[in-house]
Amino acid sequence: MRPLTILGIETSCDETAAAVLRLDQAGPHVLSDIVLGQAAQHAPYKGVVPEIAARAHVEGLDGVIAAAMRDAGLGYGDLDGVAATAGPGLIGGVMVGLLAGKAIALAHDKPLIAVNHLEGHALSPRLSPGGATFPYLLLLVSGGHCQFISVLDVGVYRRLGSTLDDALGEAFDKLAKLLDLGFPGGPLVEKTAQNGDSKRFALPRPLLGRDGCDFSFAGLKTACAREVERLGPLTEQDKADLCASFQAAVCDIVEDRTRNAMRMFDGVWGAKGRLVAAGGVASNQAIRSLLKALGEERGYDFTAPPLRWCTDNAAMIALAGAERLRLGFSDDLSFPARPRWPLDDEAARLRPSHKPGRKGAKA
């Protein structure tokens, strides 16, 4: 294949990111990878404020793209295409990045590839040398999504199960907010749990033992809120114990659901072999360890991207763009920003013969 050099742009939530990636016969090579986080701007509000995020993308994106091009040692003329996240995400931020991508594509006469952010996460384990080969069972656990997907090839995705209510990252963030731990919440819950007693609180494990591989976290979240109400003013030990008990419940749920997802994956594809976790929550060490142990027990290789490619980044967007361009797909400059965009639809867009699977409550 002809090597493809792609600029990737990511602005769907609270990271302003740009990266340059070259895809050749040997695989992907990340030539530059810049992420400008916005945590400090959102911290006073204990969560991402869409308007602040969009403004911060406007202010930061030009500099981030310039730095990515400079680090890669390339000019726009050296690119084969420009890939930008076109959704799903916070619409203001998505529009900023997608418009920037369109402008660069138009000005330098390059193809635009409008990338589904979830496809970026789904392919992110392939960024590392020797990374995941198809097919694999993907657990996508991020701030907005929690689902199992059979990733059979680029653009061939079958959703096996989804959350019925909250995403797992959202549940971590809500607990952090409840305990006033700070922002972003997930890593702080993990850190606080290290000093806690995971058996102190008997928290529910929704859907445990049920068929299928859907998730539900609303009951767990409510149970945590009730404990906080019951305890009154919290000591540091209370917080640590609650975080440890929450994380233990989450691990039990993830293990149970993953066992079922493996059965479903084996049953349909007979392709037992690779389990992959991606998205911000995949950086949680307790979850990574349990998936690794489960993989060893069930004869699955377990892979997760390095931590910087679990959370939002543009290297994964550039890779998704390069893979699509390699297959001959690019998008019109009229492509709209999409606040919602399930990955099954993405598969249907790339492979029209593919029939989308069952839709969960959340995209």
User: Looking only at residues 126 through 155 of this chain, which bind ligand ATP when binding is defined by CB under 6 A?
Assistant: 142-145
Which value, in Å, is the radius of gyration of the alpha carbons in the chain?
20
Q: Does 190 bind ligand ATP (CB under 6 A)?
A: yes
The residue range among 154-162, 277-285, 325-333, 352-360 that interacts with ligand ATP, by the rule CB under 6 A, is 277-285
The residue range among 64-72, 184-192, 308-316, 346-354 that interacts with Mg ion, by the rule CB under 5 A, is 308-316
Provide the residue type at 268 as one letter. V
Member of 15, 312, 323, 344 binding Mg ion (CB under 5 A):
312
> Which residue of this chain has its Cβ atom nearest to ligand ATP in the complex?
280
Interface with ligand ATP (CB under 6 A), residue total 24
Report the nearest approach of ligand ATP to the CB of residue 108 (Å).
Answer: 28
Interface with Mg ion (CB under 5 A), residue total 2
Member of 87, 185, 295, 342 binding ligand ATP (CB under 6 A):
185
Member of 116, 192, 198, 284 binding ligand ATP (CB under 6 A):
284
Query: Is the CB of 214 or the CB of 312 nearer to Mg ion?
Result: 312
Q: Does 166 bind ligand ATP (CB under 6 A)?
A: no
Q: Does 87 bind ligand ATP (CB under 6 A)?
A: no
Q: How far apart are CA 97 and CA 36, in angstroms?
A: 13
The residue range among 37-45, 66-74, 211-219, 281-289 that interacts with ligand ATP, by the rule CB under 6 A, is 281-289
Query: Is the CB of 142 or the CB of 198 nearer to ligand ATP?
Result: 142
- Contact residues for ligand ATP, defined by CB under 6 A: 12-13, 89, 117, 121, 142-145, 169, 172-173, 184-187, 190, 279-281, 283-284, 311-312
- Contact residues for Mg ion, defined by CB under 5 A: 142, 312
